[in-house]
Structure 1
C-alpha cells in the first residue's frame, strides 16, 4: 500500500523550520506573497529562486496547461521527481525548490545527500528514494504537526495541492510530482522569477474561481541573513 503522510501547512514559519533542518541555505527563506500587484511583490526580497503555489484540486485547475518547450531536451536541466507518497506535496515542493536553485543547499546536509542518492536517476527512481528516506519522513511528520491549523485525520481526503515554480535555463517550469514531467510555462523576461511566475499563478487563480484555499509562498533571500 502506498505511503500516506499528513499534509504540511502553507505557513512560511513551518516551511522555514522544516527546510532549514533538511539543509536549505540560511541565506534563503520562505515568505508569504500577499498579492500580485507590483507594490505587493516589492515586499519579497530579491533574489526569488522559487515559488510554492497551493491551490484546490478541481476539474478546472487540473486542466491548466503549459506551452511547448523551446527544445525537446530543455527539460533535462530541471531536477524533478515523481510523487508517490500521498499528501507529500509540500515536502516535494520544498525539495523541488531547493534542488533547482543555485547555492541553495548546505554541504553535507540531508538535501545534499538526497541529491547525491538521486544522481543519474529518472523521476520514478527518485520517487522511490524519497519514499524510502526514513529521515526525510521523520522530518516531514514533525513539521506536519506544527502550525496554526488543526492536524487532519490521516484518512481525511485532502483536495489541496502544492506545486513549485522554478527558473531553469531561461524558462519558467511548474514541478508537480503527480505529473510525468515538468511543465513549461514560457521564457523568463528578465524581471525576476516572482514576476515571471505571476501569469502562471493567475491562470490557476482564475481556474480556482475565487477559492479562498489558494496561497503562494516565495523562496527568496532571507531577511535575517
Structure 2
C-alpha cells in the first residue's frame, strides 16, 4: 500500500463537485440537503446517491450484511486508508451507477478491480495516485495538520456513509463494515424515501446527545439540466411563434413560454455564479498562506510595530495573548 498520506477534506458541496469533475466524471454535482422530506428530495432529482456524515460510534448491534452483493454487480470496498472515507463514499455512488459517464480513469479502475474482494478494492483505492492526488488537492501543500487528522478539535471521529440504488434495491455502503447492507427493494423513482428513512433512524439514535451530522445528495449537474431545459424552451417558443399569429390562446401560451425562458436563463446565470464562487473558495483552500503571514509578521517586527499590535489585539480580546506576543492557547 502507498505510504503517501491522505488529508482530511471539508464536507462541502463545492469541494465534492470539483473532486468529482477532476476525477473525469461528467454531468454530476453535489448538493447539501437541509431536510429529508419528500419535497426537498424531489427538488434535486435525479438523485444518484445520498451521503450521510455523522459522528462515528461503535454499532451496538451488527448490521446485517448482504453476502451475495457481487453477484448483483454491487461495487463495495473496505476502507483501509485513513481519511479516505469522504472520497470512498463518493466512489461508492459513482461506481454503482452504470448510467453515469465516469470517465476513462474510473472506468479502468472499476474494470481492474472487478472480482476483487472488498479489502483489496480498498487497497486499490489507496494505491491509485490519481484518486489520492485529487483527494489531497483541496488542502494547502504545507498545511499544518493535527496529529490525529481523522478527528475534530474535540477528538471526535466523523465518518461518511453512502446510499444508492442499483439492481432494483437500495444499498447502504459503509467502508467500515464487512459488506453492503440491502435496505430493501424499490423502484428508481422512490428509492430515496427508503434511504431517507434509514438515515432518519441513524439521526434519531444520536439526536438526544449529538446534532453533528451533514447530508449531501449526488445529483445531475444543475447547469446541464438548466441548459437542456432552456434549449427545449427555445424550441417550444419558436414553434409557438408560428402558431401565435391570429390566435389569442397561442399568443398567451407564447408569453408564458417566454416568461419560463427568462426564469430558466436567470437560474442558469445564478448557477454559473455559484460555481464560480465554489471555484474561488477551493482556490483559497489549496493556497498556502503561511509564507505570506510569516513575511508580514517579520516585516512588522523589523519596523517595530509587531509588539504594539499584539498588545492591542490582546487588550481587545480580553487578554487572549500574553505580553510577549505568544498565544496563551494551547
Structure 1-normalised TM-score? 0.84
Cα deviations across residues 12-42 of structure 1 (Å, max 9, x unaligned)? 11000001111222x2211111101223223
Asked if structure 1 preserves the Cα contact closer than 8 Å seen for 2:89 and 2:162, the reply is yes
Aligned equivalents of 1:184, 1:14: Cα separation in 2 = 29
Match of 1:131 among 123, 126, 131: 126
Is the aligned partner of 1:97 residue 2:97?
no
Structure 1 equivalent of residue 268 of structure 2: none
The answer on whether the counterparts of 2:65 and 2:180 sit within 8 Å (CA) in structure 1 is no
SS of 2:76's partner is: coil
2:116 to 89, 106, 121: 121
Structure 2: how far apart are the matches of 1:220 and 1:137?
23
Q: What is aligned with 1:111?
A: 106
Structure number with greater CO (CA < 8 Å, separation at least 6) is: 1
Structure 1 residue runs of 5 or longer lacking an equivalent are none
- Structure 2: distance between partners of 1:192 and 1:215: 22
Task: Identify the residue that residue 156 of structure 1 maps to in structure 2.
Answer: 149
Question: Counterpart in 1 of 2:214?
Answer: 215
Partner of 1:83: 79
Distance in 1 (CA, whole Å) between partners of 2:222 and 2:144 is 29
5+ residue gaps in structure 2? 152-156, 225-330
Contact 1:172 1:185 in 2 (8 A): yes
Q: Which residue of 1 aligns with 2:47?
A: 48
SS for the counterpart of 1:51 is strand
**Partner Cα distance (1:4, 1:136) in 2:** 12
Q: Which has the higher strand share?
A: 1
* Displacement of 1:54: 0.4
Q: 1:79 to 1:145 in 2, by over 3 A?
A: farther
2:129, 2:171 → 1: CA distance? Answer: 29
Q: 1:138 to 1:212 in 2, by over 3 A?
A: same
Distance 1:64 1:182 in 2: 15
Q: d(CA) in 2 for partners of 1:6 and 1:203?
A: 30
Q: Could you say what secondary structure the match of 1:29 adopts?
A: strand
Conserved? CA contact 1:75–1:182, under 8 Å? no
Q: CA deviation at 1:43?
A: 2.4
Q: Which runs of 4+ in 1 moved over 6 A?
A: none
Whole-Å separation in 2 of the counterparts to 1:64 and 1:9: 30
Residue 174 (str. 1) matches residue 172 (str. 2)? yes
Q: What is the aligned partner in structure 1 of residue 11 from structure 2?
A: 10
| Distance (Å, rounded) in 2 between the aligned partners of 1:118 and 1:137 | 17
Secondary structure in structure 1 of the residue aligned to 2:218: strand
Number of residue pairs aligned between Structure 1 and Structure 2: 215
Q: CA RMSD in A?
A: 2.5
What's the CA shift string for 1:146-177, capped at 9, x where partnerless?
Answer: 9xxx9852523421100110112221111111
Distance 2:207 2:188 in 1: 30
Higher helix share: 2
Match of 2:38 in 1: 38
With normalisation by structure 2, the TM-score equals: 0.59
What SS is found at the alignment partner of 1:143? coil
Which one has the largest radius of gyration?
A: 2
Relative to structure 2, which stretch is displaced further, 156-165 or 34-43? Answer: 34-43
